[in-house]
A and B are shown apart, each in its own frame.
Chain A
Amino acid sequence: MCVGVPMRLVEIDYPFGVAEAKGVRRNIGLQLLPEGEIKIGDYVIVHVGFAIEKLDKREADEIWKGYEELLGLMEEGDA
C-alpha cells in the first residue's frame, strides 16, 4: 500500500493534474506539493492517486527499471 510509482506530469490545473507513466494516464491530486514547485514535465511519485514527492527523470527511470525487474521475477515465480 505504501509503494508509489514515478509518473510524469502532463497537465496541471492546481490542485489537480494528470500524470502519465508507461502510456497510462491518471488524474491525480497535487495538494501535497506546493503550487509554485511543480510544472508540466516534472516527475512525481504517485501514491493512491496523489503526488507525494518530486524526483528527476533519471531517478524515475531507475526506479521503473527496478520495478520491472521485480515484476519479471514475480512472474517467473508464478510460472
Chain B
Amino acid sequence: MVEGVIRQIRELIPRGKRLKIMNVCGSHEHTISSSGIRSLMPEGLELIPGPGCPVCVCPESDIINAIELSRRDDVLLVTYGDMLRVPSREGSIISNGRNFRMVTSPSEVVRIAREDKDRKVIFFSIGFETTTAPVAAILETGMPENLYILSSHRLTPRIMEVLVMDSEIGIDGFIAPGHVSAIVGADAWRVFPERYGIPVVVAGFEPENLLLGLLELLRQINDGRPYVGNVYRHVVRPQGNTTAQRLINKYFTVSDVNWRAIGNIPRSGLELRDEYARADAKRVFGLKEVKESKIPGCICDRVVLGKAYPDDCRLFKKACTPERPKGPCMVSIEGACNIWFKNR
C-alpha cells in the first residue's frame, strides 16, 4: 500500500513546480526522518519541519528564572527531562540549578508536592495544547497548597498563522499535528483554507497515515480547492475534545508571549487566570522577564520557523551535538536538529 501512495504522490507533483509542505509537530518530523519518507519524495516536494518543539521555543528568560528558583533552599523545581538540559547564558537547570527533579507527568508533580510538604514545588510547565490540557486537569482536581506552575505554554494555531503571513517561507500546505488536533479539533485549522487558501490535513504518527495525509494535501493543491482534511479521524473529531478545551479556558488565559530568539507574538501563549494567581509561580515569586541573549552561530529560530534546515547551520554535528548542545533545537527529542542528527 505504501508504495502505491508514494507513486500517487509522485504523480501529483507537476514538473518544474516546487511545493513546500510543513509539519508542525516534532513527532511528525520523527516519523518523516526515521522512516525515510523525506528521501522517497519527488524532486520539487519539500517537507519542512516547523515549530513543533515547545522546548525549542521556551524563552531563555523562563529558563534563567527556573534555574534561579531551583537555587532557593525552600524550592524544588520539577520539569520534563528535556527542559533540564536547555542551554541559557546562565547554563542549564542540570548544570547550574540546585534543587530540581525530572517528571514525566503532571500527576507525578502533584504526588511529589504532597510528599515534599516543607518545600515549595514549582512545576516548570511547557507544551502545546495536548500538554496544557493535563495541567488544567490537575488544577481541576485540586492542587496541593505548596504547588505552583511556571507556565510556558504555547498555542499552535497562532504560530502557524504567523508563518503563513511570512512571505520568506511560502507554505503550500500544512500537516496538522494529530494529538494537538485531538484537543483543539480539526475545525480549529479551518482558518487556513478559508482565510489564507492554504490546505491542511490532520494526520497521525504512523508512516502510513502520514503518507495518506500528504497525498490528500497534494490532491487539494492540485484541485485548487483547499479545505481541512482529516486522515486521523478515529482520534480527532471536528470539534475536538470539548471537556479539555473547557478546562484549559477555565484556568488559563491567552497572553502575548516571547518565543525564543523569535520575539513577542501576540496572543500566542497561556498564563494562569487571575483567579488562580495563588498557583502562578510568576506572580507568587515576582519573576521578572530578563532580556534574551543570542547564542553565537545558532540558527534554531530559523529552523523553528521553517526558514532553514538543521544542516544549514554551520555548527550542526560539529560544535553542536546532542551530547553538547549549543541551542535548544539540539536538546529536545522533538527539536529538528536533534532528530536530524539521529537520522542521518
Q: Is the CB of B27 within 8 A of A3?
A: yes
Contacts of A77 in B (CB 8 A): 34, 342-343
Q: Is the CB of B182 within 8 A of A53?
A: yes
Interface size of A by CB at 8 A reads 32
Contacts of B130 in A (CB 8 A): 1-2, 4, 47, 52
A-B CB contacts (within 8 Å), total count: 131
On chain B, which size bracket covers the interface? 35 or more
Q: Is the CB of A70 within 8 A of B31?
A: yes
The one of A4, A34, A73 in contact with B179, judged by C-beta atoms closer than 8 angstroms, is A4
A4 to chain B, nearest CB (A): 5
Task: Closest B residue to A53 by CB, please name it.
Answer: B182
A61 to chain B, nearest CB (A): 11
Chain A binding surface, main DSSP class? mixed
B247 within 8 Å of A (CB atoms): yes
Of B130, B243, B343, most A-chain CB atoms within 10 Å: B130
Quick one: which of A54-71 are within 8 Å of B by CB? 55-56, 59, 62-63, 65-67, 69-70
The one of B36, B80, B134 in contact with A73, judged by C-beta atoms closer than 8 angstroms, is B36
Q: Is the CB of B334 within 8 A of A32?
A: no
Contacts of A53 in B (CB 8 A): 182, 235-237, 241
Contacts of B204 in A (CB 8 A): 63, 66
A15 to chain B, nearest CB (A): 6
Q: Is the CB of A49 within 8 A of B134?
A: yes
Per-residue interface assignment for chain B, residues 18 to 39, with 1 indicating a CB less than 8 Å from any chain A CB and 0 otherwise: 0000000111001100111000
Q: Given A1-B26, A34-B243, A52-B179, is A67 in contact with B205 using a C-beta cutoff of 8 Å?
A: yes
Distance in angstroms between the alpha carbons of A56 and B230 in the assembled complex? 17
Contacts of A28 in B (CB 8 A): 107
Distance in angstroms between the alpha carbons of A69 and B34 in the assembled complex? 11
Distance in angstroms between the alpha carbons of A55 and B178 in the assembled complex? 13
Task: Closest A residue to B342 by CB, please name it.
Answer: A77
Instruction: Jot down 6 A-B pairs with beta carbons below 8 A, ordered by A.
Output: A1-B53, A47-B130, A49-B108, A53-B182, A66-B205, A70-B205
